Amino acid sequence: MITPSHLFTAGYHDLISVIPPGASLAPGSKIATASLGKVPGHKISERSWAGFDWRNHNTTEHDVRRWESDGANVGLRAGRFPGLDIDSTDDGIATAVQELALRELGPAPLRVGKPPKRLLMYRTDDPFGRMRMWLEDVKKTTHLIELLGEGQQYLVFGTHPATMRPYQWSVPELPAAGDLTRITRDKVAALFDQIAREFGGRGFTVHREG
């Protein structure tokens, strides 16, 4: 089973605490309850949670063990570990984008929270910011493909707030952090070009950002 402690030992030192679904927020908190399960935060008392400076927090093994004990969801800062988030409820589209990504960027562990949506995890030596594109079909349904990068995070352990089920990985154990496939911004741009050609040819309208 993939746990935060195992991830930290494997070199994923950019882990952060995320407030779990159904948690009680500290009085005066500005965090929206709709964000519980996905927004960074830590337990500050026996019953309440609050936000913290997760972008600059220097995570230790002790932190990770405490977050596990607190029942926190756990995220990973995306700066050094960019994630390709395929935010589509159409399995055919999600699978097609995944196949293009694996071909263009290389192999990656797959994380699922609310299928058919999925995320592919990579690493980079040169952190870069978010990149996004939208595929709009003839019914005006929009499908978001987003590269989560510097300044962002994504869940690697815990309970999905919509399904109330644990996040699942395609592998029983994630590789060591240094063994993930390395990508660059240029490679992601090339992937987005390929996705645009593929889906533009199918009649989709394509919008891009970043």
Looking at the fold, whether 49 and 110 belong to one and the same domain comes out as no
What pLDDT, on a 0 to 100 scale, did the predictor assign at position 210? Answer: 73
What pLDDT, on a 0 to 100 scale, did the predictor assign at position 48? Answer: 97
Looking at the fold, whether 56 and 99 belong to one and the same domain comes out as no
Asked if the model's pLDDT at residue 1 lies above 90, the reply is no
Looking at the fold, whether 32 and 125 belong to one and the same domain comes out as no
Looking at the fold, whether 45 and 26 belong to one and the same domain comes out as yes
Distance (Å, whole) CA 136 – CA 27: 41
Looking at the fold, whether 57 and 110 belong to one and the same domain comes out as no
Looking at the fold, whether 93 and 26 belong to one and the same domain comes out as no
Looking at the fold, whether 187 and 95 belong to one and the same domain comes out as yes
Token pair in block for residue 184: 């660059």
Segment 60-80 mean pLDDT:
98
What pLDDT, on a 0 to 100 scale, did the predictor assign at position 5? Answer: 97
Looking at the fold, whether 128 and 54 belong to one and the same domain comes out as no
Looking at the fold, whether 143 and 61 belong to one and the same domain comes out as no
Tally DSSP H helices, then E strands, for the chain.
4, 13
Final residue before a domain boundary, out of 76, 97, 126:
76
| pLDDT single digits (tens) 112-155 | 999 999 999 999 999 999 999 999 999 999 999 999 999 999 99
Q: Which residue has the tokens 């936000």?
A: 51
Per the CB < 8 A criterion, the answer to whether 116 and 110 are in contact is no
When divided into structural domains, the chain yields a total of 2
Domain that holds residue 170: 83-209
What pLDDT, on a 0 to 100 scale, did the predictor assign at position 99? Answer: 98
Asked if the model's pLDDT at residue 31 lies above 80, the reply is yes
pTM more than 0.75 = yes
What is the pLDDT of the chain when averaged over all its residues?
97
pLDDT band at 72 (very low <50, low <70, confident <90, very high): very high
Looking at the fold, whether 104 and 205 belong to one and the same domain comes out as yes
Q: Which residue has the tokens 């605490």?
A: 17
Encode burial over 28-46: b for 16+ CB neighbours within 10 A, e otherwise.
ebebeeeebbbbbbbbeee
| pLDDT single digits (tens) 40-51 | 999 999 999 999
What pLDDT, on a 0 to 100 scale, did the predictor assign at position 172? Answer: 94
| pLDDT single digits (tens) 157-183 | 999 999 999 999 999 999 999 999 999
Final residue before a domain boundary, out of 76, 93, 113:
76
According to DSSP, the residues that pair with 48 across neighbouring strands are: 24
Looking at the fold, whether 72 and 88 belong to one and the same domain comes out as no
Asked if the model's pLDDT at residue 92 lies above 90, the reply is yes
Looking at the fold, whether 204 and 173 belong to one and the same domain comes out as yes
pLDDT band at 65 (very low <50, low <70, confident <90, very high): very high
Final residue before a domain boundary, out of 29, 59, 76:
76
